[in-house]
Amino acid sequence: MRPQNLLSLAALSLAFFNAGCATAYAEGTALPADVSFGAGLEAMSPAFDRLCDDYDVRTLDPADLPVAETSHVQVDCRGFDHAGAGRLAEFVFADDSLVFIWVLTDAAEEATHLAALRAAHGTPTHDTPVFVAFADDNVALRRDEPEFLYYGDAVAPMYRAWFDQMASQ
């Protein structure tokens, strides 16, 4: 086989390998099927038993969460398997409804996470120094404090307005 054909074959193999890894990694950025936005804490508790190495439930002041009227609860889930590692995930409930999730990452992982999100969701709707958002799919990657953000439809308009505001600055 000619050297240029070997190089072409190697490049093609590498492209297929990278595409396969990107797809597998992108799947690693999807939330597990038993995470359901809008579900209450009691309904989500069996999922936390499966998804977390251990977790704490904290009751916070509803005034600290603009979308909460009567209650604000956060579940700190340690060992949440996400994007290739066991991570701290913060599940936030407003008025006994799961509204958003923060999954903490490391700044050194940003490029890899962005590639995975782009593979899964396409072009971001917003790309700012603070966030890269895929608002059509209710997911973002925060840059100033490295973490994924996932949110439900109930708060999607609020987040889109926030992303729009940040993009116009």
- C-alpha dihedral sign at 125, 131, 135, 141: positive
Give the tokens for residue 67. Answer: 């979308």
pLDDT for the residue numbered 21: 36
94 CB neighbour count, 10 Å cutoff: 21
- Which residues make Cβ contacts (< 8 Å) with residue 121, sequence separation at least 6? 134, 136, 137, 139
pLDDT for the residue numbered 161: 94
Asked if 115 and 98 touch (Cβ cutoff 8 Å), the reply is no
pLDDT for the residue numbered 54: 97
pLDDT for the residue numbered 18: 36
pLDDT for the residue numbered 35: 95
Instruction: Provide the pairing of β-strand 139-142 with 98-104.
Output: unpaired
Q: What is the pLDDT along the chain (169 residues), one digit of tens a residue?
A: 433 333 333 333 333 333 333 333 344 789 999 999 999 999 999 999 999 999 999 999 999 999 999 999 999 999 999 999 999 999 999 999 999 999 999 999 999 999 999 999 999 999 999 999 999 999 999 999 999 999 999 999 999 999 999 898 8
* Chain centre to alpha carbon of residue 108: 16
pLDDT for the residue numbered 169: 84
- Which residues make Cβ contacts (< 8 Å) with residue 79, sequence separation at least 6? 52, 53, 54, 86, 87
pTM of the prediction? 0.83
